[in-house]
Amino acid sequence: MHILVALTIFSGVSFIVYGALCLGNSSMKTEFVRFKVENFRVLVGTLEVLGGLGLLVGLKVSAVLLLSSFGLSVLMLIALVLRMKLKDGVLVSLSAWFFTIANLYIFKEAL
């Protein structure tokens, strides 16, 4: 399997799972309160699920892949900014860094 396809599937499935957790998991609710963005939890969870589905659909429809990978990159950049403002450590922020870079790579390769 080509690295781009594998990365796209991994990112897509990860965002679907993480987005679903944002929508229903009580510890995720606490995390959004800690970030002081609790009013955006449902929006973020929905965008993550849609973005993850978009990545998977994007394996067949390149315009959807471009939109989804770009949108998820922006979402993860915002998460990184919030983590920096809270002075979260590198290990805690590692997944946000990974998914930002991964989705920027997917976007670049899909151009």
> Model confidence over 19-31: pLDDT tens digits?
999 999 989 999 9
Task: Write the secondary structure of the chain as one string of H (helix), E (strand) and C (coil).
Answer: CCHHHHHHHHHHHHHHHHHHHHHHCHHHHHHHHHCCCHHHHHHHHHHHHHHHHHHHHHCCCHHHHHHHHHHHHHHHHHHHHHHHHCCCCHHHHHHHHHHHHHHHHHHHHHC
Each residue's pLDDT tens digit, 53-101? 999 999 999 999 999 999 999 999 999 999 999 999 999 999 999 999 9
pTM of the prediction? 0.94
